[in-house]
């Protein structure tokens, strides 16, 4: 499959996205909801309007339990109450950030939405583990390897394999450039207006950026797929990979986030389900997580640009532990 049939590029979607982008770059809830209500032709569009399901903030939102010392360390962060459809905490959520490997959330979304995960992918030389620098995370793919798209997604999301990201992009888009175009089109479609992608992995490029709010939009879309939820909540995954010589080897991938590995103390106030890490020198240390409070109410928490891993998990733990009691 050299290139996915881009059904989603319909005229209606293109026009509505363009109008919304020009009307509401910073997503104030009243503006988006009013615009959708007044503009959509209800004879054509009968589903619940998109903005009604979003947590939206027009700026910074403070939260009891988050001290000034924490915010002094933060570059960009947020806590989204999915049941309450509100932002419990936000700090610089519309500021431009480099996403590093949190990019792979959009890579996964394209695959989940437009591809058959049972299809078998043959790994090209561009996705060979040896084509990446020693400090760039890989899942150990080799030229000529054959494995399913689902296998690739497990390695992509759990172990953050840059080789997996390239293999997914080439299989679905044909080339990295074509796949990046698909990523950007999808970002526009879900109103992630502060985002631009140039690759599927998140390896640094000055023209590859996002915002904490846009990452929430992307993560929220990924959560609509049961397979995504299964992947991010897994503690390991073993893939059967057929090499170019026909030999089948098994490779096991585990999560990279420190809560899953035991390298960070778990928060007291919620159960961490899973998410996506990201680290490069320009991006700093980044983490997007899904967690549930004691009543199993879901939250998305995001910390971007932490100077160190220790600060990243310190700030994330403080954010999760500040989740309001009784889902207030």
Neighbours of 69 (CB within 10 A): 8
Identify whether residues 22 and 161 lie together within a single domain.
no
Chain position carrying tokens 């996002």: 210
Q: Is the pLDDT of residue 13 over 70?
A: no
Torsion of CA 234, 108, 269, 305, to 10 degrees: 120
Identify whether residues 125 and 31 lie together within a single domain.
no
Q: Domain ends where: 222, 256, 290?
A: 256
- 293 Ramachandran zone, left/alpha/beta (phi>0; psi -120 to 50): beta
Quote the number of domains for the chain: 2
Instruction: Name the token pair of 317.
Output: 């733990």
Identify whether residues 104 and 252 lie together within a single domain.
yes
Q: What are the residue ranges of helices labelled H in the chain?
A: 11-23, 29-39, 68-73, 104-114, 149-158, 162-173, 176-189, 212-222, 226-232, 258-261, 309-321
DSSP 78-147: EEEETTTTEEEEEESTTS-B--GGGGHHHHHHHHHHHS-TTSEEE--GGG-GGGS-TTS------TT-EE
Identify whether residues 39 and 152 lie together within a single domain.
no
Identify whether residues 47 and 113 lie together within a single domain.
no
Identify whether residues 39 and 175 lie together within a single domain.
no
Identify whether residues 43 and 139 lie together within a single domain.
no
Which residue(s) pair with 271 in the sheet? Answer: 292
- Whether 250 maps to a domain, the answer reads yes
Q: What are the residue ranges of helices labelled H in 224-292?
A: 226-232, 258-261
Inter-CA distances, 163 with 81, 285, 301, Å? 34, 20, 27
- Report residue 238's pLDDT band, with 50, 70 and 90 as the boundaries: very high
pLDDT in tens, 98-153: 999 999 999 999 999 999 999 999 999 999 999 999 999 999 999 999 999 999 99
pLDDT score recorded for residue 186: 98
- Whether 275 maps to a domain, the answer reads no
Instruction: Name the token pair of 144.
Output: 């000529």
Which domain range does residue 162 map to?
100-207+235-256
Identify whether residues 49 and 109 lie together within a single domain.
no
pTM exceeds 0.75, yes or no: yes
């Amino acid at each position: 499959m050299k290139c996915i049939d881009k059904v989603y590029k319909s005229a209606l979607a293109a026009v509505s996205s363009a109008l919304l982008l020009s009307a509401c770059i910073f997503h104030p809830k009243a503006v988006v909801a009013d615009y959708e209500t007044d503009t959509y032709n209800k004879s054509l569009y009968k589903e619940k309007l998109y903005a009604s399901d979003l947590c939206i903030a027009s700026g910074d939102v403070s939260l009891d339990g988050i001290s000034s010392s924490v915010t002094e360390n933060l570059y960009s962060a947020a806590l989204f109450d999915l049941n309450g459809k509100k932002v419990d905490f936000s700090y610089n959520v519309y500021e431009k950030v480099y996403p590093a490997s949190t990019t792979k959330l959009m890579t996964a979304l394209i695959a989940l939405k437009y591809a058959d995960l049972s299809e078998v992918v043959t790994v090209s030389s561009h996705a060979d583990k040896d084509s990446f620098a020693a400090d760039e995370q890989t899942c150990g793919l080799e030229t000529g390897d054959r494995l399913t798209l689902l296998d690739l997604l497990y390695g992509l999301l759990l172990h953050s394999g840059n080789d997996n990201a390239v293999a997914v992009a080439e299989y679905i888009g044909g080339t990295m450039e074509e796949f990046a175009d698909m990523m950007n089109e999808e970002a526009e479609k879900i109103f992630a207006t502060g985002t631009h992608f140039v690759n599927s992995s998140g390896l640094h490029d000055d023209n590859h950026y996002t915002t904490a709010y846009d990452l929430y939009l992307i993560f929220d879309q990924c959560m609509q797929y049961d397979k995504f939820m299964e992947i991010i909540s897994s503690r390991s995954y073993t893939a059967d990979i057929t090499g170019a010589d026909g030999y089948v080897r098994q490779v096991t991938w585990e999560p990279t986030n420190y809560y899953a590995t035991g390298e960070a103390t778990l928060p007291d106030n919620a159960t961490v389900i899973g998410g996506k890490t990201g680290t490069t020198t320009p991006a700093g240390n980044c983490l997007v997580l899904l967690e549930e409070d004691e009543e199993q109410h879901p939250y998305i928490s995001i910390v971007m640009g932490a100077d160190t891993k220790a600060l990243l998990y310190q700030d994330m733990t403080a954010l999760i532990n500040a989740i309001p009691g009784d889902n207030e």
